[in-house]
Amino acid sequence: QSVLTQVPSASGTPGQRVSISCSGGGSNLGRNYVYWYQHLPGTAPKLLFYKDNQRPSGVPNRFSASKSGTSASLAISGLRSEDEAVYFCAAWDNSLDVWVFGGGTKLAVL
Amino acid sequence: QLQLQESGPGLVKPSETLSLTCSVFGGSIKTTNSYWAWLRQPPGKGLECIGSVHDSGDTYYNPSLKSRLSMSVDASKNQISLRLTSVTTADTAVYFCAKVDEDTLGSNWFDPWGQGILVTVSS
């Protein structure tokens, strides 16, 4: 069971906007930054956002991220077929003294 | 553009030692002055950070694995290594290496990652 909670799957059609949530607690998301990654199995996970909502260069601005309290959200607008991937969140946990991760949300573009 | 690639045996017997290497391309471990991390993802489960190591020898190990774990950096070969002793089937996972990126305020995160290597523990 992952410390950060994500729904296992989500879907959307091309052009749509989808949102993926990540829920944690006071010792992780409540006190520390959240990080978002995109992962196509068999390839290297790619950093999408660092420090809650900072987008690295090269990540399209169709992707956005936010955090409030112990919940974080990743949004993708203008959905494209190449966005089909697993998206997972990560944060440091002050109580466990380890990095904790979400189980990942598999996004299907129908 | 840094690229990382994991290598090692894909099959390890129970009670034996799992040894993996992460090769860094496109940059020198010495000049990046970074920590390097190992993470793993068991089949159907979430990710776990195993630990991290700096070429100075400083390490951070996940408390749940600390007694079986060692990591090191060979800067001359631009490689990071992982050794996990006394493995069981619970250690079956895809193992990733990643650079620990850091900003001036001390926040850090994993970027980039390798593509991962599946290691199965089985007799």
Q: Do B96 and A103 touch (CB under 8 A)?
A: no
Which of B109, B112, B115 lies closest to A35 in CB terms?
Answer: B109
Computed over every residue of chain B, the mean pLDDT equals 95
Closest CA to B17 of B65, B93, B117, B84: B84
Greater pLDDT, B107 or A65: A65
By the 8 A CB rule, do B21 and B79 touch? Answer: yes
- The ranges of chain A with pLDDT < 70 are none
What does the pLDDT read at residue B32?
Answer: 85
Most confidently predicted of B27-31, B32-36, B48-52: B48-52
Task: Mutation target for A interface from B100, B109, B118: give the one with most A CBs within 10 A.
Answer: B109
B66 CA to chain A: closest CA distance, Å? 12
Chain A residue closest in CA terms to B105: A51
Q: b vs e for B29-41, b when ≥16 Cβ sit within 10 Å of the residue's Cβ?
A: beeeebbbbbbbb
Residues of A in contact with B51 (CB under 8 A): none
Long-range contacts of A92-95 (CB under 8 A, 24+ apart): A92/A28, A92/A32, A92/A33, A93/A3, A93/A27, A93/A28, A93/A32, A94/A27, A94/A28, A94/A31, A94/A32, A95/A27
* B31 pLDDT above the threshold of 90: no
Kindly report the backbone phi and psi dihedral angles of residue B90, in degrees, each rounded to the nearest multiple of 5, phi listed first.
-65, -15
Cα separation, B5 vs B7, in Å, equals 7
Kindly report the backbone phi and psi dihedral angles of residue A12, in degrees, each rounded to the nearest multiple of 5, phi listed first.
-165, 170
What does the pLDDT read at residue B23?
Answer: 98
What type of residue sits at position B89? T
Confidence of residue B33 (pLDDT cuts 50, 70, 90): confident
Cα separation, B67 vs B45, in Å, equals 23
Q: Do A47 and B63 touch (CB under 8 A)?
A: no
DSSP secondary structure letter of residue B29: H
